[in-house]
Amino acid sequence: MGKLLEPSQNIERSIMKKYRKELWNPFIKAVKNYELVQENDKIAVCISGGKDSMLMAKLMQLLQRYGDVPFELTFLVMDPGYNEKNRKKIEENAKILNVPITVFETNIFDVANSVDKSPCYLCARMRRGYLYSKAKELGCNKIALGHHFDDVIETTLIGMFYASQLKAMIPKLHSTNFEGMELIRPMYCIHEEDIIAWMNYNGLEFIQCACRFTENYTLNNNEGGMSKRQEIKMLIRQLKKDNPLIDKSIFNSIHAVSLDTMPGYKTHGKTYSFLDNYYNNERSEEQL
């Protein structure tokens, strides 16, 4: 009779075997194609307690164990003011997944919920700053966030529909406020539906968005309607009924932007028009 596996071992096996095609392979694809992990990196894996960041923690842990490139990991949990139930749930899940977390506390929820305008934007900005700061204090040169494939395409469409800009979410970027620090997104090629399938298969339960603003929004019967991201999710779901590959098409399009066809674009903080070089760089319709 074979030896019984620990829960964390069964979870790891599900990643490497049952969901290898859906989770492990696209994870490795992103790490390699976007050059997210280099030798001797010390990466702070930022865990919010949700399904995405918890899976990312396991993927990074497995990459460190089985990969060819040596690097260090710190599993960083920032408590922005969770209630006792959510804090306990994060700690319990970390034990189940065998992820050794480092927890530090902030008052972000108190600050963000004290303002009337854009509390979610302020919360996100503060979270990012605290994570960079703590990671740097611990000697890390990178932070890893759990944004996935669906986040990428939804963010692109939100920018187009509601902010009048064609702006994507890139797989990694240099911090502008913390010198020498980078942000990486190892889940960039993983679909949310596959994360949910993995979670359900293993009988795991993770916290949802745990902020007080969202809790109040829910208690008030979603007064004011759904969020812009929820609207985009529903739109994509509807469009996929006629074109099942439309999400992949959106994703691929941000990898193949043709600036020659754009009437305007921004780079390095400057705005450019197609007229800037129009008369010095004549091209025929056939070339465009």
Query: Once rounded to an integer, what is the mean pLDDT over residues 236-256?
Result: 96
Lowest-confidence range among 70-74, 151-155, 277-281?
277-281
> Is-contact 264 274, C-beta < 8 A?
yes
Q: Which pLDDT tens digit goes with each residue over 182-207? A: 999 999 999 999 999 999 999 999 99
Note the pTM of the prediction, 2 decimals: 0.89
Helices (H), the chain: 7-13, 25-33, 51-66, 84-97, 108-112, 119-137, 149-162, 192-201, 212-219, 228-239, 246-253
Q: Structural domain boundaries of the chain?
A: 7-211
DSSP 263: S
pLDDT digit string (tens) for 114-135?
A: 766 766 777 788 888 999 999 9
* CATH node for 7-211: 3.40.50.620
Question: For the chain, what is the mean pLDDT?
Answer: 89
Burial 17-45 (b: 16+ CB within 10 A, else e): eebeebbbebbbebbeebebbeeebebbb
pLDDT tops 80 at residue 14? yes
Do the beta carbons of residue 104 and residue 134 sit within 8 Å? Answer: yes
What is the Cα–Cα distance from 51 to 188, expressed in whole angstroms? 15
